[in-house]
Structure 1
Amino acid sequence: MKGKSRRRAARKQRQKQARLAEAAPFDVHTLTVLDSLTAMEKLIQSFTPSDDPAASIGATIDEAVNQLVADVRQFDTLRLVEVARLMFLPSSFGGPPVSALDAVAAHVELLALIALAAEGPNGFSGSGSNLSTTEFVPAAKSQLDHLMHLSQLRVMATTKPTDKLAMISTYVRGNEVWMRSTSYADVAEATVHSLFEDCPEVRQALLADLGFSAADVLAVLQSCHDIQIAKLNTRMQAMFESVDIAMNSTTETGPDPVLRDAAQEQFSAMWEPAIETVTAGIEEIAAATGQPADRVSAIVDQFRLDLGTSTPAEVTDDFMAGRNPLRTHPVLVHDSGRIMLPHSALIAGAIKENFEEHLKSSPVWETYRKHRGDLLESRTRAALEKVLPGASHRGGTERFEYFIPATPKEQTAGDPAKYTKRVEGDHLFLLDDVAIVVEDKANALSALSRGGKVNRIRTDLTSIISKAAEQAGRLRDLIEGDGGVRVEGEGWVDLTHIREIHTITVSLDDLSSVATATAEFVRAGLLAPENICWTVSIHDLELITELIDRPAEFLLYLRRRRNPQVTVLYSAPDELDLFLYFFESGLWVEPDPDQERAAFPFLPEPKPAQRRRYRGQARSLITSRTDPLDRWHDAKLNGADASALKPTMVEAPLAPLADLLHTQGVYGWLSIGATLLSGAFEAQRKLAGSAQRLLSEPRSDGQGRSLTWPVTGTVEPAEGWLLVWATHPPHESLAKAHKRLAGYLKAKKHQLSLPRAVAFLYDEATRQLQHVQYDSDIGPLPDELKPWLGSLQPPEAMHPIRQSARGRRRRKAKRVAR
């Protein structure tokens, strides 16, 4: 009967949770993804009966493009683009930017490209339509959605099942279609300024060749954007004011006819604008920037879009394949000579790609490449030093060369003093028992890769990701195998104390969802499963290190992020989405319980529920998590919204202890802190109360008390820990207490075959933390400590604390200065 009661209670609890889940509002980002998937499913079903689905899809695409062409030819293109900007792009109407799921830059761009390609030989005809622009554009969005889904479906239909790079190619192409810049505009533009303005030789070469610098282009294009926004605001203000006046004039007979007509006219001017009110003139930009008109004209000529003889079908195919001409030439020029930007997110990328393409044939190309690499290295070092305070550093802009075996014979001999091949590393950070190996890659994906050329994708990603992982892994293997490394000019660097090594690749360009597809890189043979490197852009790395409140959070993220199973079970469009999900829920992957027990034999036989939980893990799509981050960044930049708080990690009861270890400079504080933060909320709460429980119930015989927990939750024996809380009774000398604790720690660690252990000793008189004992010795147990083994509790009596997902409890929102 008791069994039935328990099952009935468990069933009721599951039903309650299901009802709560049904009642919970959906994330709007999730709804958007579901809507897109539903539309794709319907399309797939419609083409299933076809003998040649790819041909049928192609014919349907042609029909969709032809329909759009017939429609857009009725409108002036730039006026059409302006209305699309208003309806598709997020706007704030005076406040901080608002994230809108329907506001997708790709829709504006594709509509602009089709309209421009559809123009007759006389340019912007705008022949007239029975529909207004504001009536047509919402319908056009549905047509564009349909066209984009068809194009995605054609890629699926034509992809070879045996192509191991198919998914990565899809990610690359998807980035080019949907993502404009995962970096904030101010950050991306600052990088462009540093790349092309901070190196005098490069700047002078651009001035001599083109007649303008990167700063000039930034000023001109940003001014064009600002003028467009100012004119929009003017139209909007005039509309609001006229409507307000008309409403205030209302009497019993209705509003004043003259004022009503004036309001109607202003409303039309807002949504059916004249070309002068949606574009910028050369003289306007010259006046706003203080630059000569001829220089402004030269910049416009360099960045103007020219589709040549491309047809609407060709520009659509190119756009959906990742070949978007607006990426490098975002300026739309009207036949009157006035100009427009589809949106400002194109500015930084266009300047970088345009200038780099020019410099490749310039004598200063190598100078630029070195400057670009030095810039990345210096910024990588600065970012990581924020979250690795006190770490020693080798590399960066200073040469860091070390020796590796030049031949199999040297490798077999294993004598580091006789290695003869000298290689260069980018960064080596050492902080107590933790080593961070970093490789910088300043080169970017080529235009051919972004256009979906599989062979070029393999070449580029091998250069950026695979080689970096191999180079970082090479140094990691030396540290693990030889216990150190021989450094040019320094000699032998002993690293036998290192117990944890992480490898990172930092790219100058944003790789977006490509960088989050670690599992696909392994599947395609671009990464080895045993050599997973965290690949991150410098912009994301800098932002992540700014969001981190304590260094232990960063190390824990590295541990979780580099788990080979993370990107098997979690799919995210962007690195920041993964990171913010880590802040929320820990980015946890349930380990195989049988492999976990093989790694830690003292664990009991896995229960059926554990195996079911492991097998039941399903791939999760992490939708956008960056809305709060966007608000915080905007508030920090513009000082607008004081209520926009910086995203922080979910509440961690052991965080104060991790902070105390850092403040006191305890050896191993970083790795200990990350381990303390690795448990779920309830587990941490239990551990956090351990000291007070021990101190509140001292032993009657005057001996100290202790509580011991192994930490598992991994399939790697090297990642296990032993945590001990202990008390120091008043009569015992401090030296004796330290010796007792050190002996117990070493013996217990040896008994359980755990590589690292830490004990927290609390004074019973003051009730304060008195001493932290860290032990990472992996040698044999000293003879004098072997008698301890007989007095220890047997391994099977231990109750391990598993590293786990975080609880959902959040910190209460506080308005605090950070």
Structure 2
Amino acid sequence: MSKQQRKRTAKRKKRERAARRVHTSVDQFPSTSVLLDSAVRLDSYLALSGDPAAVVPLARQRLDDAVEKIAAAVAHVDTFDVLEAVKLRASLVDPETYRESEHGATVAMIELTALILASRGARPGTTPPGDVEPNPSEVIGALQAHLQNLMDAGQVLNMFSVDRDDALHRISFGTRLREVAVRNSSYPHMVEDTLTALFDEPAVEAACRSVLGCTVSDIRTVFAVLQRLTADSWTNNLDALERLAGLADSGVTDLSASDLEQARRLLGRLAVGPGANAMHTPETLAAAVDLDVRTIATVLDLFSTPMSVRPPVDAVLEFFEGKSPFRTRPVLATPEGEYTVVHHALLVPAIRERVEDALRHDTDAWNIYSKHRGAYLEAEAARLITVHLPGCAQHLGFEYFVPARDTERHPASYTKLVEGDGLLLLDDIAIIIEAKAVALRPRSRTGDPLRLRQDLRRIVTDAADQGDRLRRRIFHDRGLRLRDETWLDLTTIREIHTVAVSLEDLSGIATITSELVTSGLLTTDDLPWTVSLHDLRIISELIDRPAELLLYLRRRTEPDTTRRFHAVDELDFFLHFLAAQLYVEPDPDEVHDALPQLGAPRTRDRRRHRRQGLELLTSLTDPLDAWYFHELGIRATPIDKPRMKANLAMLNLIDELAERRDSGWLALTATLLHLDESAQRHCATAGTRLAAQTRADGLPHSQAIPMGTRRGDSVLLVLMTTAPAISTKASQQRLREYTTAKKHQLQLDRGFGLLYDSKGRLISTFYDNRTPGPDPVLDALCSRIPLKGPEAFQGFPPHRRRTRSSRKRR
């Protein structure tokens, strides 16, 4: 192959990749935080109006003007041509440079364009003056500014439609805003995996075929061919142009009339009539795939929105109310039976909701599917969590007894049988899984307060109540009486977390726990972590060590977390956490009230607490998108996976403790990871420093570090070395006795002891998680060591043996 031929081949392949990217790139980009900078938009409206009361009419006027200008701009152009030209410009996003914060809002603008086009009821445009054929590419330039103005006006109208003094109305606002601005809330490969798990089971397939006339596998096949044929059409046209250009480059000047006609037709199809590349019928699809025309027509009917004459402004206003028909019917259909995809990002996400809506009309089919769906969600949620809990015990889909009335006070007398979705046990930690497969109803998605409250009770409140019911039995009864009358002993459990997993994406709802509390949907007692299955999968794939999971559960369920941090997306919370953040400085006076034995509040502690303000977490997922795109082969440039920011020596210590798996290792490693940077450095190197002192004087050395913010999370960490003249067994005994006595003296919840040799190597650990309280035996141990008893620290601080780094945590 000559150099010129190789150059032409490389150019052709580059064009082919670009053409395919036109209709394959958009649906790879999740857009979970594509909310516009509404504060800036609002400021501009207030500045122009000079009066807050005038903002709504001003926004409505601008919305009407923008719709009118868009409709006028496209009036003389074919609907499919305009839509394809808009998609072409919007979707030419290079995966190497994609940023959700910059490119995520484009699909919503495509949807608005399609709504305005569909409202004229027919595909062809009107005849332009002078019979001059309009060029869609020239129209698109004028559309961009009008579409941006339309989005701004619609968002401002939404902002002023909410009662800011009502917590549920604020949640409703977030729900509606999400429906308007968020598209593709999960990575497509995860959605595909979920569809396979939910609908490829034989009994479910049979139910779908009976009710819908097709299976989800058929639907996915039709969607795939819709995308492939459109991309192939663009590629073939570009290849043909490349061939003609190659002839010209080679010096052939005497092109045939047919070649010239082909070139004119191709150029017209690419520039003037691009809609032909994306126009399909059941017959053209059937010729490209092994499905009959009837099945393909069934699929298209299920997922298509017909063009219908109506005022375009009505369709736009409904869009901003969260009522876009394209969310579940993303194929635009003409009266003549022609179809085009509004944008491919909506195809796969539309499948589950649309199919579930159809199955609900058949009781038998729905029962088959819903039972399978619930079992899958429970099992998958447990799998994503247990992968980070090596050696944990699992109890899934179990039944246990609870008291039916107040007179039933002992487990043997309980008569009410209830179900638990999942219970994971490791060391003294329990993780309750509550799986909620129910979906938000369409009215809830529009922010209807009554419907939204009802749905959130079924998803969020019920999960919290059921988790709390199990938690109470564990802490009160120290075990569970199971259906088969066996006893599950849980006397060792000291820490419990509830994870409520939903198939529904609850962006903008589950991330505002404080508002759910204010609205009465949750209480501050033992808040659950509510998360969608796909977000849980992403977080599971990002976690490198078990301590990260447990620490995130501790931080994420702190009542003050969503008062201190606001985010639309759960992943923004998690990525902020990985960056060594998502920490709320506790009120030092409240800490002192709960744990006076840790010392009186200091001025700098109060100052740090006062300086905390509300922090808005804007989209942090750009590095995450880039990493996934490279992992999936979409992006060529490699990028590091987002990882926990922490002291390297501390991470090495945590990994060593996790590998040893001594008693209490999980709680200990999460506690160590919780320390701030200076405290991590201090604790990670303490063994080496103490060992150096031991080598210098031949004596054992130790340091005790108490910490905590309230009853239930207080901890004593003891670091100790063994001297060469003392046996390891005797040093281990000394570590156990001192840690136990000191923990009892300070009345803390947990005590961790680490024993190092004279070279600074960790040789033994000890864990004491006995519940604090009066204990004559431990009083005697304190006297023998000797240490003052617990009574010495009632109401005044103990002798300070800690540094600032032992107080402040990350």
Quickly name the TM-score band, shorter chain normalised. 0.7 to 0.9
Q: Distance in 2 between matches of 1:628 and 1:660?
A: 29
Alignment pair present for 1:313 and 2:313: yes
Alignment pair present for 1:703 and 2:705: no
Partner of 1:489: 484
- Distance 1:39-1:159 versus aligned 2 partners, 3 A rule: closer
Is the 8 Å Cα contact of residues 655 and 676 (structure 1) preserved in structure 2? Answer: no
Is the 8 Å Cα contact of residues 744 and 788 (structure 1) preserved in structure 2? Answer: no
**Deviating more after overlay: 230-239 vs 511-520:** 230-239
1:421-460 alpha-carbon deviations (Å, 9 max, x no partner):
2211111111001111111000110111012211000000
Q: Distance in 1 between matches of 2:589 and 2:261?
A: 78
Partner of 1:666: 662
- Distance 1:611-1:240 versus aligned 2 partners, 3 A rule: farther
- Distance apart, 1:148 and its partner CA: 2.6
Q: 1:769 aligns with which of 736, 748, 762?
A: 762
- Distance apart, 1:594 and its partner CA: 1.5
1:559 is paired with a residue whose SS is: helix
Counting only pairs closer than 5 Å after superposition, residues 791-802 of structure 1 correspond to structure 2 as 791=787, 794-799=798-803, 801-802=805-806
Q: Distance in 2 between matches of 1:474 and 1:31?
A: 34
- Distance 1:137-1:533 versus aligned 2 partners, 3 A rule: same
- Distance 1:69-1:34 versus aligned 2 partners, 3 A rule: closer
Is the 8 Å Cα contact of residues 592 and 598 (structure 2) preserved in structure 1? Answer: yes
Q: Distance in 2 between matches of 1:50 and 1:685?
A: 52
Counting only pairs closer than 5 Å after superposition, residues 625-640 of structure 1 correspond to structure 2 as 625-638=620-633
**Deviating more after overlay: 437-446 vs 151-160:** 151-160
2:500 is paired with a residue whose SS is: strand
Q: Distance in 2 between matches of 1:272 and 1:98?
A: 30
1:166-209 alpha-carbon deviations (Å, 9 max, x no partner):
111111111211112221112112212322221x2332232234
Counting only pairs closer than 5 Å after superposition, residues 440-589 of structure 1 correspond to structure 2 as 440-589=435-584
1:242-291 alpha-carbon deviations (Å, 9 max, x no partner):
789889999xxxxxxxx999999977654434432233343442233221
Q: 2:146 aligns with which of 128, 136, 143?
A: 143
Q: Distance in 1 between matches of 2:620 and 2:244?
A: 40
Partner of 2:430: 435
Q: Distance in 2 between matches of 1:803 and 1:228?
A: 61
Q: 2:63 aligns with which of 53, 61, 64?
A: 61
Is the 8 Å Cα contact of residues 580 and 646 (structure 2) preserved in structure 1? Answer: no
Is the 8 Å Cα contact of residues 280 and 340 (structure 1) preserved in structure 2? Answer: yes
- Distance 1:459-1:149 versus aligned 2 partners, 3 A rule: same
Give identity over the alignment, percent.
36
Q: Distance in 1 between matches of 2:635 and 2:141?
A: 32
Is the 8 Å Cα contact of residues 78 and 334 (structure 1) preserved in structure 2? Answer: no
Q: Distance in 2 between matches of 1:298 and 1:759?
A: 67
- Distance apart, 1:744 and its partner CA: 0.6
Alignment pair present for 1:676 and 2:676: no
Is the 8 Å Cα contact of residues 384 and 540 (structure 2) preserved in structure 1? Answer: yes
2:317 is paired with a residue whose SS is: helix
- Distance 1:577-1:53 versus aligned 2 partners, 3 A rule: closer
2:674 is paired with a residue whose SS is: coil
Is the 8 Å Cα contact of residues 167 and 516 (structure 2) preserved in structure 1? Answer: no
Task: Report the TM-score, using the length of structure 1 for normalisation.
Answer: 0.86
- Distance apart, 1:559 and its partner CA: 0.8
Is the 8 Å Cα contact of residues 76 and 124 (structure 1) preserved in structure 2? Answer: yes
Q: Distance in 2 between matches of 1:672 and 1:338?
A: 63
2:800 is paired with a residue whose SS is: helix
Q: Distance in 2 between matches of 1:30 and 1:456?
A: 23
- Distance apart, 1:336 and its partner CA: 5.6
Q: Distance in 1 between matches of 2:427 and 2:584?
A: 27
Q: 1:113 aligns with which of 102, 106, 115?
A: 115
**Deviating more after overlay: 698-707 vs 108-117:** 698-707
Alignment pair present for 1:230 and 2:232: yes
Counting only pairs closer than 5 Å after superposition, residues 171-190 of structure 1 correspond to structure 2 as 171-190=174-193
**Deviating more after overlay: 136-145 vs 79-88:** 136-145
Is the 8 Å Cα contact of residues 565 and 617 (structure 2) preserved in structure 1? Answer: yes
1:588 is paired with a residue whose SS is: coil
Is the 8 Å Cα contact of residues 373 and 441 (structure 1) preserved in structure 2? Answer: yes
- Distance 1:90-1:525 versus aligned 2 partners, 3 A rule: farther
Partner of 1:211: 213
2:559 is paired with a residue whose SS is: coil
1:700-751 alpha-carbon deviations (Å, 9 max, x no partner):
6643111222233x3x221121112111122223332222111110111122
Partner of 2:405: 407
Q: Distance in 1 between matches of 2:403 and 2:66?
A: 61
Q: Distance in 2 between matches of 1:556 and 1:418?
A: 37
2:287 is paired with a residue whose SS is: helix
**Deviating more after overlay: 303-312 vs 571-580:** 303-312
Q: Distance in 1 between matches of 2:606 and 2:112?
A: 49
Is the 8 Å Cα contact of residues 68 and 143 (structure 1) preserved in structure 2? Answer: yes
- Distance 1:160-1:665 versus aligned 2 partners, 3 A rule: closer
**Deviating more after overlay: 259-268 vs 43-52:** 259-268
1:42 is paired with a residue whose SS is: helix
- Distance apart, 1:676 and its partner CA: 1.2
Partner of 2:8: none
Partner of 1:286: 286
Return the structure number with greater relative CO, CA threshold 8 A, min gap 6: 2
Partner of 1:354: 354
Partner of 1:15: none
Is the 8 Å Cα contact of residues 432 and 667 (structure 1) preserved in structure 2? Answer: yes
Q: Distance in 1 between matches of 2:460 and 2:34?
A: 31
Q: Distance in 1 between matches of 2:801 and 2:703?
A: 13
- Distance 1:439-1:51 versus aligned 2 partners, 3 A rule: closer
Q: Distance in 1 between matches of 2:139 and 2:39?
A: 25
1:726 is paired with a residue whose SS is: strand
Q: 2:417 aligns with which of 408, 411, 422?
A: 422
Partner of 1:301: 301
Q: Distance in 1 between matches of 2:809 and 2:391?
A: 29
What runs of 5+ residues in structure 2 fail to find an aligned partner?
1-30, 253-258, 789-796
Partner of 2:712: 718
Partner of 2:12: none
Q: Distance in 2 between matches of 1:48 and 1:243?
A: 58
- Distance apart, 1:669 and its partner CA: 1.2
Q: Distance in 2 between matches of 1:266 and 1:733?
A: 88
- Distance apart, 1:379 and its partner CA: 0.7
| 1:753 partner letter | Q
Partner of 2:163: 160
- Distance 1:30-1:117 versus aligned 2 partners, 3 A rule: closer
How many positions carry a matched residue from both structures?
Answer: 759
Is the 8 Å Cα contact of residues 720 and 756 (structure 1) preserved in structure 2? Answer: yes
Is the 8 Å Cα contact of residues 708 and 722 (structure 1) preserved in structure 2? Answer: yes
- Distance apart, 1:87 and its partner CA: 2.3
Is the 8 Å Cα contact of residues 228 and 340 (structure 1) preserved in structure 2? Answer: no
Partner of 2:390: 389
- Distance apart, 1:791 and its partner CA: 4.3
1:217-248 alpha-carbon deviations (Å, 9 max, x no partner):
10111211122233334455667787898899
Q: Distance in 2 between matches of 1:207 and 1:690?
A: 66
- Distance apart, 1:463 and its partner CA: 0.3
- Distance 1:92-1:340 versus aligned 2 partners, 3 A rule: farther
Q: Distance in 2 between matches of 1:203 and 1:720?
A: 52
Partner of 2:642: 647
Counting only pairs closer than 5 Å after superposition, residues 244-283 of structure 1 correspond to structure 2 as 269-283=269-283
Counting only pairs closer than 5 Å after superposition, residues 94-113 of structure 1 correspond to structure 2 as 99=100, 101-103=102-104, 104-113=106-115
- Distance apart, 1:54 and its partner CA: 4.1
Is the 8 Å Cα contact of residues 709 and 801 (structure 1) preserved in structure 2? Answer: no
| 2:765 partner letter | V
